[in-house]
């Protein structure tokens, strides 16, 4: 195991918060933008702030800052809650978690199931990644398990950087033991002897809760052999959420995405087979092992199984965190949240900010990976940002491109130059018709040659706006 420690000056130029404690901050995320009229003082401070902060995980009370930390509404809209009860009640000690049946799934897995049995249950459940890509979790684990290398790693991605998302934050804060139990089961399944949690610096309470829970769990096992668990703290880079960039960050390299193949399950952390799962994905594992993959599969529909945590922004009357079953329509979610607290709905961005916009005419769409893709959107972390008729589409697009150009790591030339070019073109409030060929060329380059979702997603959202709101942004 070799950590490649590049000179600090080379690493620190990449990060917003390298070697810095999190200062008093104001959020410039998209949720805060669409609700900025609630507190223009906060929004203006966010715009002036350098370095910028693009999400504090407080989108249910935006515009937000580090000064306040209100509790969100947490509700369950599923016939069978998988995660919601842990979130609604909050579990603040290992003793209380064990009273709720906690750690029994891990004990059962390591005493009664082979590694292949565990992987098979996850495959039967058809659990898919909850961080955006939606790759089947069981297949990812199986790929790592089948590698010849004996040294393997598990990484839990707690770098929830998509503005509008806060599900992972509250899983780590309200039920860290559930997250860690899921990680222990995954490590057993793939035969990983070491686990890394990578948690964004903007979530200080998540960091402390996970660290304290690790200590409690180590003491609980009292010398019994469990994987070593490490906690790495992020430094303010959005692209670190991409799994190969995340691996580079842990290894002490500049956290830029790599070309694939090889995939991390083949050659990942320190060149060894590595599974990267996000926090919500891994939190589903104890339920699957306890109840069986079939029971989990019975929730949801089609190729989207189980439940999903949905983050609703503060423009809803009842913003907060909802556990819903896949198959619910977007319109049903909006009604459960009481509709908007002001104005008329103009659109939704799911998996914001780099995802196609959904119009009011598309609200009968079911929540599902393929169903959202069919209308030019994506699930992402399940963050839903509503915007009303106060929002000008050109202003919304400019703010999205500000985010993309600021967060671009610069490795891909189309992303480094293309995001800035698009931002400059829309800065006047519209695209001119004679600019559309250039715009289209940039978008195709972004979608076809970007190494990670930042460039690809930027192309998706601009294409979506041109197709659905072209009358507002083309002259």
Mean per-residue pLDDT for 291-306?
98
Q: What share of the chain in percent tops pLDDT 90?
A: 82
Q: Model pTM?
A: 0.94
Domains in the chain, ordered, with CATH?
Answer: 73-297 (3.40.50.11540), 308-388 (3.10.20.600), 392-475 (1.20.1440.230)
Query: For residue 458, how far is the Cα from the chain centroid?
Result: 16
pLDDT tens profile 394-420: 999 999 999 999 988 888 888 899 999
Residue 4 predicted with pLDDT over 80: no
Of 189, 213, 215, the C-alpha closest to 106 is 189
Range 364-378 average pLDDT: 96
Over residues 101-122, the pLDDT tens digits come to 999 999 999 999 999 999 999 9
Predicted local confidence at residue 24, as pLDDT: 72
Of 30-34, 234-238, 291-295, 465-469, minimum mean pLDDT range = 234-238
How far, in Å, CA of 445 to CA of 447, rounded? 6
SS3 (DSSP) at 429: coil
Q: Per-residue pLDDT for 132 more than 90?
A: no
C-alpha–C-alpha distance, residues 95 and 213, integer Å:
11
For residue 85, name the pLDDT band (cuts at 50, 70, 90).
very high
Q: Give me the pLDDT at residue 237, please.
A: 83
> Is 235 a residue whose pLDDT tops 60?
yes
Could you tell me how far CA 308 lies from the centroid of its own chain? 12
The whole-angstrom separation of Cα 408 and Cα 419 is: 8
In tens, the pLDDT along 239-250 reads 888 899 999 999
Q: How far apart are CA 467 and CA 355, in angstroms?
A: 13
Quick one: pLDDT at residue 469? 96
Range 113-118, long-range pairs (CB < 8 A, 24+ positions):
113/289, 115/145, 115/188, 115/189, 115/190, 115/191, 116/145, 118/185, 118/188, 118/189, 118/289
């Amino acid at each position: 195991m070799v950590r490649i420690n590049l000179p600090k000056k080379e690493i620190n130029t990449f990060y917003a918060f390298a070697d810095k404690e999190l200062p008093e901050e104001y959020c410039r995320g998209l949720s805060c933008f669409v609700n900025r009229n609630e507190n223009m003082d906060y929004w203006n401070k966010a715009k002036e702030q350098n370095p910028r902060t693009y999400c504090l995980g407080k989108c249910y009370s935006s515009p937000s800052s580090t000064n306040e930390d209100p509790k969100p509404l947490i509700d369950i809209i599923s016939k069978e809650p998988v995660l919601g009860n842990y979130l609604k009640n909050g579990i603040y000690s290992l003793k209380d978690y064990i009273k709720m049946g906690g750690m029994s799934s891990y004990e059962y897995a390591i005493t009664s199931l082979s590694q292949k049995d565990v992987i098979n249950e996850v495959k039967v459940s058809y659990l898919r990644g909850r961080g955006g890509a939606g790759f089947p979790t069981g297949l990812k684990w199986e790929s790592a398990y089948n590698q010849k290398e004996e040294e393997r790693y598990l990484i839990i991605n707690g770098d929830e950087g998509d503005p509008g998302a806060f599900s992972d934050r509250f899983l780590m804060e309200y039920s860290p033991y559930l997250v860690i139990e899921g990680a222990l089961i995954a490590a057993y399944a793939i035969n990983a002897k070491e686990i890394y949690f990578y948690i964004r610096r903007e979530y200080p309470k998540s960091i402390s809760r996970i660290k304290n829970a690790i200590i409690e769990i180590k003491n609980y096992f009292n010398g019994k052999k469990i994987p070593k668990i490490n906690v790495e703290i992020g430094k303010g880079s959005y692209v670190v959420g991409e799994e190969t960039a995340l691996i580079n960050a842990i290894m002490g390299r500049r956290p830029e995405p790599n070309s694939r193949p090889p995939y991390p399950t083949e050659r990942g952390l320190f060149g060894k087979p590595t599974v990267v799962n996000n926090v919500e994905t891994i939190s589903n594992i104890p339920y699957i092992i306890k109840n069986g993959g079939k029971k989990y599969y019975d929730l949801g529909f089609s190729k989207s199984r189980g439940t999903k945590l949905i983050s609703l922004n503060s423009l809803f009357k009842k913003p907060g965190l909802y556990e819903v079953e896949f198959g619910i329509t977007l319109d049903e979610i909006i009604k459960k949240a009481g509709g908007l607290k002001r104005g008329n709905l103009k659109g939704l961005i799911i998996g914001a900010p780099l995802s196609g916009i959904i119009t009011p005419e598309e609200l009968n769409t079911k929540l599902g990976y393929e169903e959202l893709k069919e209308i030019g959107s994506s699930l992402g972390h399940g963050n839903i940002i509503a915007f009303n008729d106060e929002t000008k589409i050109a202003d919304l697009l400019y703010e999205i491109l500000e985010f993309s150009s600021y967060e671009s790591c610069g490795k891909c030339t189309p992303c480094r130059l293309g995001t800035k070019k698009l931002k400059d073109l829309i800065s006047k409030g519209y695209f001119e018709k004679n600019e559309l060929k250039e715009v289209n060329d940039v978008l195709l380059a972004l979608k076809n040659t970007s190494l990670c979702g930042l460039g690809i997603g930027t192309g998706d959202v601009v294409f979506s706006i041109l197709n659905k709101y072209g009358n507002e942004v083309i002259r």
